[in-house]
Chains A and B, each alone.
Chain A
Amino acid sequence: MFYTEAGQFSGHYRADRRLFRLRQDRYALYALLLFAFAVVPAIGSDYWLNAILIPFLVLSLAGLGLNLLTGYAGQLSLGSAAFMAVGAFATYNLALRVPGLPLLVGIALGGVFAAAASVLFGLPSLRIKGFYLLVSTLAAQFFVQWLFTKVSWFSNDSASGVITAPPLRIAGHDLSNPAGRYLLTLGFVVALTLLARNVVKSELGRNWMAVRDMDTAAAVIGIPLARTKLLAFALSGFILGVAGALWAFTYLGTVEPHGFDLSRSFQVLFIIIIGGLGSIAGNFLGAAFIVLLPIGLSLLSGLLPPGVIDAGQLENLQKIVFGLLIIGFLIKEPEGLARLWQQLRERARVWPLRY
Chain B
Amino acid sequence: MKHATFRRVAALLVAGLLAGGAHAANEQYFPLQSYRVGPYAAGGTGFFGGFIDYLQYVNAKGGVNGVKLTWSECETEYVVEKGVECYERLKKGLNGAPAAATNPLSVGIAYATLDRSTADKLPLITINHGRTDSTDGSVFPYVFPLQLNPYSEVSAIVNYIGQKSGGLDKLKGKKIVTLYHGSPYGKETNPILELLAKKYGFELTLIEVPHPGNEQQSQWLNIRRIKPDWVILRGWGVMNPVALKTAKKTGFPVDHIIGNIWSNSEDDAAPAGDAAKGYISITTHPSGTQFPVLQDIKKTVIDAGKGNLADPKRFGNVYYNLGVVNGILNVEAVRLAQAKYGKKPLTGEQVRWGFEHLNLDDKRLKELGAYGLVQPLKLSCADHEGGGAVRFQQWDGSKWNVISDWVQADRKLLRPIIEESSKKYAKEKGITPRDCSKES
Contact = CB atoms under 8 A, between A and B. Distances in A.
Q: Do A and B bind each other?
A: yes
Interface of A: 46-47, 50-52, 55, 149, 159-162, 164, 166-167, 176, 251-254, 256, 258-259, 295, 298-299, 302, 310-312, 315-316, 319
B45 A312 contact: yes
B144 interface: no
Interface stretch (B2-10, B183-191, B328-336): B183-191
Contact of A159 (B72, B85, B187, B310): B187
A66 to B, nearest CB: 18
B73 A311 contact: yes
Nearest to A316: B37
Interface stretch (B104-112, B252-260, B268-276, B319-327): B104-112
Main secondary structure of the interface of B (DSSP, over half): helix
B430 A167 contact: yes
A256 B185 CA distance: 11
B182 A50 contact: no
Nearest to A252: B112
8 contacts: A47-B88, A47-B89, A51-B87, A159-B187, A164-B114, A259-B80, A311-B73, A312-B45
Contacts of A295: 85
Contacts of B182: 149, 258
Contacts of B116: 50, 253
A167 B36 contact: no
* Band of interface residues on B: 35 or more
Interface centre among A258, A311, A319 (most CB of B within 10 A): A311
Given A162-B108, A166-B428, A319-B37, 8 more contacts: A47-B89, A159-B187, A159-B188, A160-B184, A160-B185, A161-B184, A259-B108, A311-B73
B115 A256 contact: no
B81 interface: yes
A111 B20 CA distance: 44
Contacts of B211: 258
Given A252-B80, A252-B81, A311-B73, A160 B111 contact: yes
B18 interface: no
A164 B190 contact: no
B24 interface: no
A167 B431 CA distance: 11
Nearest to A49: B88
B402 to A, nearest CB: 30
Interface string B178-200: 00001111011111100000000
Given A259-B80, A295-B85, A312-B36, A159 B132 contact: yes
Nearest to B191: A159
Nearest to B184: A160
Interface in B117-169: 119, 131-132
A258 B108 CA distance: 10
